Copies of this chain bind each other. A is one copy, B any other.
Amino acid sequence: MKSCGVIVEYNPFHNGHAYHIEQSRETAQADCMVAVMSGNFLQRGEPAIIDKWQRTRAALQSGVDLVLELPYLFAVQHSDYFSRGAVQTLSNAGVDAICFGSENGAITPFIKAHETLTAHGEVFNNNLRKHLDEGLSYPEAARFAYEDIGIASIDLGQPNNILGYSYIKQILDHHRHVTPFTIERTGSQYHDQHMDGSIASATSIRKELLAHGEMTEKALDAIPLPTLDGLNEYYQKNKVWHHWEHYFSLLQYKILTTPAEQLQLIHGVDEGLEHRFKNAIKKATSFHQLIENVKTKRYTWTRLQRTCVHILTGLTKEEARHWLHEGTAYVRVLGMNKTGQSYLNVQKKRMNVPLLTQPQQWSHPVLDMEERSVAAYYSALPAQQRVECMSKEYGSPVRI
């Protein structure tokens, strides 16, 4: 059985994602499509609009055969760690290929860029450090450092290309048995705020939904039926589609009740950021206001959002340093259909990390962090629903 992995967030699953799955299956000639998906918090440092279980179900009902969890530890990180965790998880799960979306759909420029980097790694690292010292944000500094060594064949200013390039680096450096593919993105750009037609970005769909607080015609055009059902079901049950403002009160409490010297131990709270947060939080009445007042040229909105998630979950520098370095320690199944199940039955004998269908099967610090992120995420829910939703963390994967 041939398999192809995709690296996703599905926040929420939309028509563009369905197209990506279909195209990837064709390109890689795959029988089983395996998605590694961020859990309840996402790479840009935001809570997912609905939880990982509803997003898993929608993905399975829309063409994905198997959904694996990208642990929180790797999911809410800049592209390098995010990619490392995602590619490792897919590789551990035994995929033959990985297919990602890019701006022009050609794999050669990515591979060439990687060759250039391998040849000029030291220069790249020195320049990266230099640009960071100049006060640039990490993505900016990285982009300039790439340009310095002549990687200009792909536009590393495009979010999809940045991620794609990180995947290629991981695959070619550590997982050479996995074949990389890329397909051209269609329709809206990653961050597009406006939506028009049946292919829209997840960002624009969320914006539309959160602005109206209910399903709209426009959003309906851009998502398949399972996503519609998932969004509606989640809202009816839990009275919420998650966004940052739901967590502002909690974040304010956490920052105010955590002494500066402890806040400083949190992953991402660097270079006196604890004092910027402590000063800004006293007067802020919304999350938006807080970030506006804390952000600088160096600390981008996304970087600060990620840091705020880590403040909520209490992820320390020490934990992050140690366990990011260790790499993914397990493969956790969020959901599967019959094809996914058959695939796993074959693969599980070959895996060299534990395969978890229930997290309590195993005890591991990275699972503890996952549990903390789950508790933080559902704290936006009413008491009864909160307890019900949290219990899903210890239940079985979604099966369709």
Instruction: Report whether A285 and B383 are in contact in the complex, using a CB–CB cutoff of 8 Å.
Output: yes
Q: Cα distance A371–B253 when bound, in Å?
A: 11
How far is it, in angstroms, between the C-alpha of A368 and the C-alpha of B376 when the chains are bound?
A: 25
Q: Are A252 and B386 in contact (CB under 8 A)?
A: yes
Contact indicator A371/B285 (Cβ below 8 Å): no
Interface of A: prevailing SS: helix
Indicate if the CB atoms of A372 and B285 lie closer than 8 Å.
no
Q: How many chain-A residues does the 8 Å CB contact rule pick out?
A: 29
Are B376 and A313 within 8 A (Cβ)? Answer: no
- A61-84 vs B, Cβ < 8 Å mask (1 yes, 0 no): 000000000000000000000000
Bitwise interface map of A from 181 to 195 toward B, beta carbon under 8 Å scored 1, else 0: 000000000000000
A283: CB under 8 A from chain B? yes
Identify the closest chain B residue to A247 (Cβ): B253
* CB closest chain-B residue, reference A374: B256
A257 in contact with B314 given A250-B250, A252-B379, A379-B249 (CB within 8 Å): yes
A112 on interface, CB distance cutoff 8 Å: no
Whether the Cβ atoms of B375 and A256 lie closer than 8 Å is yes
User: Which residues between 247 and 305 of chain A lie within 8 Å of chain B, taking CB atoms?
Assistant: 248-250, 252-253, 256-259, 282-286
Once A282-B390, A390-B282 are accepted as A-B contacts, the answer to whether A383 and B249 lie under 8 Å apart by CB is yes
- Which residues on B sit within 8 Å (CB–CB) of A391? 282
Q: Which residues of B contact A313 (CB under 8 A)?
A: 257
Interface string of A363-391 (1 = CB under 8 A from B): 00000100110011001000110110011
Which residues on B sit within 8 Å (CB–CB) of A284?
387
Closest-CB distance, A285 to chain B (whole angstroms): 4
Q: Is the CB of B379 within 8 A of A253?
A: yes
A329 at the interface (CB under 8 A from B): no
Please tell me if A312 contacts chain B, counting CB pairs below 8 Å. yes
* Residue contact B387 to A282, C-beta cutoff 8 Å: yes
Interface pair A257/B387, CB less than 8 Å apart = no
Would you give the shortest CB distance from A320 to chain B, in whole angstroms? Answer: 14
Distance in angstroms from A241 CB to nearest chain B CB is: 18
Assess whether B383 is in contact with A248, with CB atoms less than 8 Å apart: yes
Knowing A250-B253, A375-B253 touch, does A258 contact B383 (C-beta < 8 A)? Answer: no
How far apart are A252's CB and chain B's nearest CB, in angstroms?
Answer: 7
C-alpha gap A259/B285 in the complex (Å): 29
Evaluate contact between A372 and B312: CB separation under 8 angstroms.
no
Taking CB atoms, residues of chain B closer than 8 Å to A384 are 285
A-B complex: 6 closest residue pairs judged by Cβ atoms: A256-B375, A253-B379, A285-B383, A257-B372, A285-B384, A257-B314
**Interface contacts beyond A258-B314, A284-B387: sample of 7 additional A-B pairs, CB < 8 Å, sorted by A:** A249-B386, A252-B383, A253-B375, A256-B375, A257-B313, A259-B368, A282-B391
24 contacts across the A-B interface (CB closer than 8 A):
A249-B379, A249-B383, A249-B386, A250-B250, A250-B253, A252-B379, A252-B383, A253-B375, A253-B376, A256-B371, A256-B372, A256-B375, A256-B390, A257-B313, A257-B372, A257-B375, A257-B376, A258-B314, A259-B314, A259-B368, A282-B387, A284-B387, A285-B386, A285-B387
User: Chain A: residues with CB nearer than 8 A to chain B?
Assistant: 248-250, 252-253, 256-259, 282-286, 312-314, 368, 371-372, 375-376, 379, 383-384, 386-387, 390-391
